[in-house]
Amino acid sequence: MSTAGVVSAASNPFSDVPADSWAYDAVATLSADGVIDGYPDGTYKGDNTMTRFEMAQIVARAMAKTDIDKADKALVDKLAAEFAEELDNLGVRVAELEKKSDNVIFMGTARLRYDDGDINATNPNQRKGDDIASHAHIESWIKGKVNDDWTAIGQVETEYNMQTDSITAYNGKGFHVNKIYMEGPLFDGTLKAGRYGEFSSYGRIIDTEVAGLEWTWGDPNEGLSGALTYGRLSHDERNMAGTTFEGTTKDGADSYGIKLGADGKKAGEYTSARLKYNFSPVTAMGVTYGHLDNLTVEESYAADGSLLNKYSDDGADIWEIGLNTTLADNLTLMGAYTTSDRDGVYDSVGDEIKTDGWFSELRYKKHDIKDPGSFAIFANYRNVGALSTIDATVDYTENIKGWTIGFDYVPIENTTIEVFYINGSQVNATTSDGAQDVDIFRAQMEFYF
């Protein structure tokens, strides 16, 4: 084994390798790097025949190093394959292809959350008053390199409800495979294929899973970039903005919603196009157009028996436009507007469900999970109709108008604390009592691994 480089050693690493030896530089470098350590008497014994076990020890130490260049790593990989049996005896895990372990990455997030307040702002049972919810949630990601271009990605989630002492998320399943897709280059852009997370320009139209294809192009941090999406929403029988209204349906149920997809048949197909333009390093604008092929409104009746909605399963177009900019050092502003053409749908008291929505946020500083002590303070305002969004990225946005104040703080590396308070009211009434107040407090801690 040889190496190139200049060694700045104050003294000879081994008594039997003089400074004028042809092997001195190589032996000194390997010694300084901790790859070889010689014999207890301070000698190297370079003329002795090396056993396979001794060579395996050298290979194991070389494998542990992370700062070697590509050519040296290729050599170490070959040596690892050759000495796999000896390395196994040393407790070094080297299967035939396990030398490719750098190709696989495991990561995830664990969360502890506590919510207190009128947390059912999109559900008829809000008249029960204050409610408390707390859970422990964990999601795990695995990313595997197929080759230099393509990556396989999967995400698994589970959630434990601390109030009911049970796994209640995802229809009571212990674990839920949330995402599974391939990602790689195509036509000077990037293609995602499978079930992935779809995100509109500012997450005001959609931030949820879609099964299908997405092609993105351009650098989202410079100039013009964009994306095209075609797929179907991942959940059957899911309501627009997750909102359900009190009212008797044709089938006799005591509530109704605006379903994303043909009623009782399939999840709705979703097509979108988005563009983003960076005017400068601190200012950008984004636009998204989305189309739902089916948005099913159930036939429904008010408490007095009058007709609220006729049955229909027409498509819907939905738009989003937003802007983000840095106003001053450590001070950023974003605002976004969404609207759809699905009017003529009515809530529990007979008012037309709002089809547009505003969201704006002012943020001071920025927290970084790698920088303990960093923090951000934020305030935002939302007035979001249930027919202006599919599933917005900010919690407690749908069918709510009001203010939020809060902060994010990094107490230790890879850990964040978030606290916020929302004060507002429903946009449309989900019960026959009329629109109700919304007051919500959240405290949560997230751990990244």
Of the candidates 198, 259, 270, the residue with the CA atom closest to the CA atom of residue 231? 270
For residue 210, with 0-12 CB atoms within 10 Å meaning exposed, 13-18 middle and 19 or more buried, which class applies?
buried
Of the candidates 318, 212, 314, the residue with the CA atom closest to the CA atom of residue 262? 314
Of the candidates 168, 144, 169, the residue with the CA atom closest to the CA atom of residue 154? 144
Alpha helices in 67-149 (DSSP H): 70-82, 84-89
Q: Which of 194-208, 224-238, 282-296, 380-394 has the lowest mean pLDDT?
A: 224-238
Point out which residues pair with 408 in neighbouring strands. 376, 418
Whether the pLDDT of residue 114 is over 90: the answer is yes
At residue 238, the pLDDT reads: 82
User: What distance in Å separates the CA atoms of residue 388 and residue 369, rounded to the nearest whole number?
Assistant: 33
Whether the pLDDT of residue 96 is over 50: the answer is no
Q: Where are the beta strands (DSSP E) in 313-414?
A: 316-328, 331-340, 356-364, 375-384, 400-409
At residue 101, the pLDDT reads: 53
Model confidence at 425, in pLDDT bands (50, 70, 90)? very high
Of the candidates 139, 230, 142, the residue with the CA atom closest to the CA atom of residue 191? 230
Q: Which helix (H) or strand (E) holds 60?
A: helix 52-64
Q: 3-class SS at 440?
A: strand
User: What distance in Å separates the CA atoms of residue 168 and residue 235, rounded to the nearest whole number?
Assistant: 17
C-alpha 299, offset from chain centre: 37
At residue 2, the pLDDT reads: 43
Q: HSE (CB half, 13 Å, CA atoms) of 198?
A: 33
- Given a contact cutoff of 8 angstroms between Cβ atoms, the answer to whether 405 and 376 are in contact is no
User: What distance in Å separates the CA atoms of residue 241 and residue 261, rounded to the nearest whole number?
Assistant: 13
Mean pLDDT of 322-347: 96
Mean pLDDT of 153-171: 82
Mean pLDDT of 207-233: 95
Model confidence at 119, in pLDDT bands (50, 70, 90)? low
At residue 15, the pLDDT reads: 78
From residue 322, alpha-carbon distances to 264, 286, 295, 325, 423 in Å are 35, 5, 25, 10, 24
From residue 219, alpha-carbon distances to 152, 215, 222, 228, 362 in Å are 22, 13, 5, 15, 25
Q: Which of 9-23, 34-48, 296-310 has the lowest mean pLDDT?
A: 9-23
Whether the pLDDT of residue 23 is over 70: the answer is yes
State the distance between the two ends of the chain, measured CA to CA, in whole angstroms: 37
pLDDT in tens, 367-419: 999 999 999 999 999 999 999 999 999 999 999 999 999 999 999 999 999 99
Q: In this prediction, what percent of the chain has a pLDDT beyond 70? A: 88
Of the candidates 298, 156, 172, the residue with the CA atom closest to the CA atom of residue 237? 298
Of the candidates 399, 408, 394, the residue with the CA atom closest to the CA atom of residue 360? 394
Average pLDDT score over the chain: 87
Point out which residues pair with 301 in neighbouring strands. 248, 307
At residue 140, the pLDDT reads: 95
Point out which residues pair with 280 in neighbouring strands. 283
For residue 275, with 0-12 CB atoms within 10 Å meaning exposed, 13-18 middle and 19 or more buried, which class applies?
middle
Rounded to 10 deg, the angle between the 52-64 and 70-82 helix axes is: 140
Indicate the domain borders of the chain: 24-101, 102-448
Q: 3-class SS at 74?
A: helix
- Given a contact cutoff of 8 angstroms between Cβ atoms, the answer to whether 218 and 225 are in contact is yes
Other Cβ atoms closer than 10 A to 47 = 6
List all residues 6 or more positions away from 128 whose beta carbon is below 8 Å from its beta carbon: 120
Q: Which helix (H) or strand (E) holds 153?
A: strand 151-161
pLDDT in tens, 261-318: 875 656 789 999 999 999 999 999 999 999 999 889 989 999 889 999 999 988 999 9
Name the DSSP class of 299: P
Q: Where are the beta strands (DSSP E) in 218-281?
A: 224-233, 239-246, 248-249, 255-260, 269-280
- Given a contact cutoff of 8 angstroms between Cβ atoms, the answer to whether 317 and 340 are in contact is yes
List all residues 6 or more positions away from 41 whose beta carbon is below 8 Å from its beta carbon: none
Model confidence at 95, in pLDDT bands (50, 70, 90)? very low
State which fold the 102-448 domain adopts.
Porin (2.40.160)
* Size of the chain in residues: 449
Whether the pLDDT of residue 98 is over 60: the answer is no
Of the candidates 61, 103, 102, 57, the residue with the CA atom closest to the CA atom of residue 83? 57
Model confidence at 78, in pLDDT bands (50, 70, 90)? confident
